[in-house]
Amino acid sequence: MADTVSLSTRSSQSSIRSSASTTPSVYDKLPGMVSGPMVWKGAELDPLKYVLQLQAHEIANIRAAILAFKLSGLPRSSVTQATFPLAEELAKKLASISDEVHNGWGVAVLRGLDAARLNDEEATIAFVGISSYVCPSRATDSYANQTLSHIRDATHDAVPKGAEHLGLAGSKLPVAMDFHSDRFSGDVLALHVRNDGGADSGGEQFIASFWQIYNELLETEPSVLETMAAADWPFELKQPNAPPYLELGPTLFFADGKPICQLVKAPLLGSPQIPRSSDMPCLSQEQHHALEVVEGLARRFSSKLDRRVGDIQYIHNLSMLHARSAYGSKSSSSPGQRHLLRMFLRDPRKMWTKPNTCRTNFVDPFEEGREQDIPIVDLDPRRKISGRESHG
């Protein structure tokens, strides 16, 4: 993706030199550069490094686990390692994905499930069951009690009576999405590709290392990072039966020296079908500039995600940004066939420490005892989840 932003030529070192000795510069207030495999750009992220292939005997094991769970008669919310039994070797293989996501490249793809030829119910059970070995905890949105959602084009669906005032969330629109991380949704974004829409239908996925972006900005324009870390970003949060409310907060956090990005545009700028309320404060000039700079760097450093039907993608939602191109069928009267299942996950063994100032926000989706909704098909795309934009 092409770079569309011209960064300031004022370096971090000149920023330091121009500051009075008694006044800390922007650069001094920020943690230093980060290093490790999560710092990558473009072609450095080779699919050979992050794609893990399922073998025939492992696929057979997964099919047996699906059958065992179906015979148990338990609800899908009860899928766990205990109710979705896998061989020890395969269980270890899946657990290794979590380490790669949290401490490695920040992304991993499990490939080969398409060979199992699963129907919708079986694919949903498999996605949830396999993911329980990668990251055992599933997030449930407190706004709508939704654990698994469907990413697809719902613009041609009939609008249910009484839902005429509800717009469609970005996950239900075939529009392009800029780079973002999903705010307070979960540590790991999991996506199961049921249908990629076919050749030349669009919907390509891209990822970018925020850690690479952080290091670049620390050298070239640290004031952007300072703007992101300021707790004055005006997030608009919708409510089902009440006016929206304003929540001020940062888009960049730090814990244990690790930058954590939670930059999502929908609650800051509005989205195609869910406009921002006119009485909400606008972003400052500095905040708009930060959005433009981060988007430009993400495009510059991004890698197109290698994707095939049946893939299960795991993306670290705290250190990676993701985006997609527009998609759809050539006919304006019919929707595209692109269809992904989505969950947000957490691995209590490997999860990153969260900043004290907003730990509750990060923990809330994983509150114990919350009812989990894991629908096989998406029959109600205008449900309450469309109101509170944490994504896109």
Q: What is the CATH number of the domain that holds 192?
A: 3.60.130.10
Residue 306, pLDDT > 50, answer: yes
Is 19 among the domain residues? Answer: no
What percentage of the chain carries pLDDT values higher than 90?
74
Residue 8, pLDDT > 50, answer: no
Which residue has better confidence, 169 or 178?
178
Is 7 among the domain residues? Answer: no
Is 346 among the domain residues? Answer: yes
Is 1 among the domain residues? Answer: no
Is 11 among the domain residues? Answer: no
Name the band, by pLDDT with cuts 50, 70 and 90, for residue 385: very low
Rg (CA), the chain: 21
Structure tokens at 220: 């070239």
> Taking residues 6-29, what's their average pLDDT?
36
Report how many domains make up the chain. Answer: 1
pLDDT tens, residue by residue, 41-74: 999 999 999 999 999 999 999 999 999 999 999 9
| Range of lowest pLDDT (13-27, 138-152, 247-261, 263-277) | 13-27
Kindly provide the residue ranges of all beta strands, DSSP E only, lying in the chain, ordered along the sequence: 51-53, 107-111, 137-138, 149-152, 177-180, 188-195, 205-209, 233-237, 245-249, 252-255, 258-261, 303-304, 312-316, 320-324, 339-346
- Give the per-residue pLDDT at 40: 98
Is 12 among the domain residues? Answer: no
Residue 360, pLDDT > 60, answer: yes
Closest CA to 364 of 137, 184, 189: 184
Residue 126, pLDDT > 50, answer: yes
Closest CA to 62 of 116, 138, 121: 116
Residue 16, pLDDT > 80, answer: no
Q: How far apart are CA 320 and CA 186, in angstroms?
A: 13
Q: Are 277 and 167 in contact (CB under 8 A)?
A: no
> Taking residues 199-224, what's their average pLDDT?
96
Q: How far apart are CA 237 and CA 227, in angstroms?
A: 21
Q: Are 149 and 385 in contact (CB under 8 A)?
A: yes
Q: Which string of DSSP letters, residue by residue, matches 131-170?
A: HHHH--EE--BTTTTBSSEEEE--TTSPPPTT-TTPPPPG
Q: How far apart are CA 183 and CA 70, in angstroms?
A: 34
Q: Are 304 and 204 in contact (CB under 8 A)?
A: yes
Instruction: Give 150's contacts (C-beta < 8 A, 6+ positions apart).
Output: 171, 339, 340, 341, 342, 375, 377, 378, 381
Q: Are 153 and 172 in contact (CB under 8 A)?
A: yes
Residue 347, pLDDT > 60, answer: yes
Global confidence as pTM: 0.91
CA distances from 32 to 12, 28, 329 (A): 11, 9, 46
Helix axes 285-301, 210-220, angle to 10 degrees: 120
> Taking residues 378-391, what's their average pLDDT?
62
> Taking residues 253-259, what's their average pLDDT?
96
Q: How far apart are CA 219 and CA 328, in angstroms?
A: 40
Name the band, by pLDDT with cuts 50, 70 and 90, for residue 165: confident
> What's the N-to-C CA distance of the chain in angstroms?
18
State the average pLDDT for the chain: 89
Residue 194, pLDDT > 50, answer: yes
Name the band, by pLDDT with cuts 50, 70 and 90, for residue 381: confident
Is 231 among the domain residues? Answer: yes
- Give the per-residue pLDDT at 24: 39
Note down the domain range covering 303. Answer: 24-386
Which residue has better confidence, 325 or 328?
325
